[in-house]
Copies of this chain bind each other. A is one copy, B any other.
Amino acid sequence: MTVSPEASYRLRYGSEPTLDPPAEWTDILAQQLDHRSVRSYRPEPVSDATLSALIAAAQSAPTSGNLQLWSVVAVRDDERRARLAHLAGDQQFIVEAPLFLVWLADLARARQVTTGVDSATAEGADFVEAAVLSFVDVALAAQNASLAAESLGLGTVFVGAIRNRPLDVAAELDLPPNVFPVFGLTIGHPDRVAESAVKPRLPQQAVLHHERYALEPQTAHVETYEELLNTFYAAAGLPDSWAKRVARRFGTVAGLNGREHLRDALHTQGFQLR
C-alpha cells in the first residue's frame, strides 16, 4: 500500500476533512482506511490454504476470557450458495462470490464443555450476557478475517440479511441448538470493472467523545455528513439521503425485513436471553 495518510483521510471523511492525519502511519492503517464493500466478483476460487490463513487471523482476534464462542461454516457449493442468497434477500453477489462464510454465535461448544465438568449445568449461558459475549466474539473474529482477505487482494462484504430468515439458514447449515447465524461474509477476487468506492463516514467529532458523551453537538456534524453523503450518493446515481436510509431501516417494523422476529428465532435456537 502506498496511499498517503492525507489521501486516505480525504477519501474516508470527504473532500475537506477537518482532521490532521497522524504523524505515524502503517501499512495496516492504510489497508483499513482503504476498505470498501465488494459486491462483484470474478469466478476464481479461494484456496483452502488461503481460507486457513483467514481463519487463523480470525482465531487470533481477542475473545472474552478465551471462551471462543464462535464457529464459521465455509460454503462453496454452488447450490447451497444459491439457496443462502435467496434466504438473504436474493442478493446476487452471494452466488457470484466463490466463498461465503457464515459466522455463528456458538454456545453449544461451551455448554458441552461446561456440562462435562463435574456434571455442572450451564445456567449462565441462558442470559443475554452469553449472547452478547458470542456476538461480540464472532464480530471481532470476522473483522480480522475480512481485513486479512483484503491484505491478500481479495474483496469482501458483510451480509446481515441472513438474519431475515435465520431459522431457514440454520436448517440449511444443520445448526444444532445454541448455535445462531449472525452474519455472512462473501470473499473472492474483486471484479475491478465494477470497482466500488471508499464510502465517507460521519465526521470523527460525531462519534469520538472525550471524558463524557455529548449528544447535542452531534447535530451539526450529522448535518455536515448529510450534505457530504448526498454528494456521494448523487455521484453514484442514487437518489437517497443518509437520514432517509436510516429512517427506512428504523422508521417502521416493515423496514426490518423479517428481523422483527429475531428474538423468537434466538429463543428457538436456544438463546434464552434471560
Whether A49 lies near B22 (C-beta < 8 A) is: yes
Partner of A204, one of B52, B174, B182: B52
**Measured between alpha carbons, how far is A3 from B260 in the docked complex, in Å?**
47
* From A80, A160, A163, A222, residue with most partner B Cβ within 10 Å: A160
Within 8 A of B (CB), among A231-267: 242-247, 249-253, 255-256, 259-260, 262-263, 266
Q: B29 touching A251 by the CB < 8 A rule? A: no
Count of chain A residues with a beta carbon within 8 Å of a chain B beta carbon: 133
B260, A129: Cβ atoms closer than 8 Å: yes
Instruction: Say yes or no: B146 contacts A62, CB within 8 Å.
Output: yes
Contact bitstring A61-97, B, C-beta under 8 A = 1, else 0: 1111111101111111100100000000000000000
Q: Which of A24-69 contact B (CB under 8 A)?
A: 24-29, 31-35, 37, 49-53, 55-57, 59-68
Asked if residues B9 and A201 are in contact (CB atoms below 8 Å), the reply is no
Convert A109-122 into 0s and 1s, putting 1 for each residue whose CB lies closer than 8 angstroms to a CB of B. 11111101110111
Q: Is the CB of A56 within 8 A of B204?
A: yes
Task: Say which residue of B53, B104, B249 sits within 8 Å of A24 (CB atoms).
Answer: B53
- Of the candidates A65, A120, A246, the one having the most CB atoms from chain B within 10 angstroms of its own CB is A246
Q: What is the CA–CA distance of A108 and B219 in the complex, to the nearest angstrom?
A: 11
Q: How many copies of this chain sit in the oligomeric assembly?
A: 2
Interface check A179, CB cutoff 8 A: yes
The distance from the CB of A193 to the nearest CB of chain B, in whole angstroms, is: 22
What residue of chain B has the Cβ atom nearest to residue A70's Cβ?
B207
**Docked pose: A33 CA to B75 CA in angstroms:** 24
Contact residue among B26, B65, B109 (Cβ-Cβ distance under 8 Å from A249): B65
Q: Report the minimal beta-carbon distance from A21 to chain B, rounded to whole angstroms.
A: 8
Residues of chain B lying within 8 A (CB to CB) of residue A132? 135, 163, 182, 262
Contact pattern, A 6-28, Cβ under 8 Å of B = 1, otherwise 0: 00110011000001111111111
Known: A140-B139, A207-B55. A111 touches B152 (CB 8 A): no
Instruction: Closest B residue to A75 by CB, please name it.
Output: B211
> Min CB distance, A136 to chain B, in Å?
5
Instruction: Determine how close the nearest CB of chain B comes to the CB of A129; give it in whole angstroms.
Output: 4
Selected from B51, B128, B253, the residue in CB contact (under 8 A) with A262 is B128
Please determine whether B255 and A124 come into contact, CB atoms closer than 8 angstroms: yes
Known A50-B22, A139-B140; contact A109-B218, beta-carbon cutoff 8 A: yes
Q: Could you list some 6 contacts between A and B, CB below 8 A? A: A52-B208, A80-B211, A127-B260, A128-B262, A128-B263, A136-B160
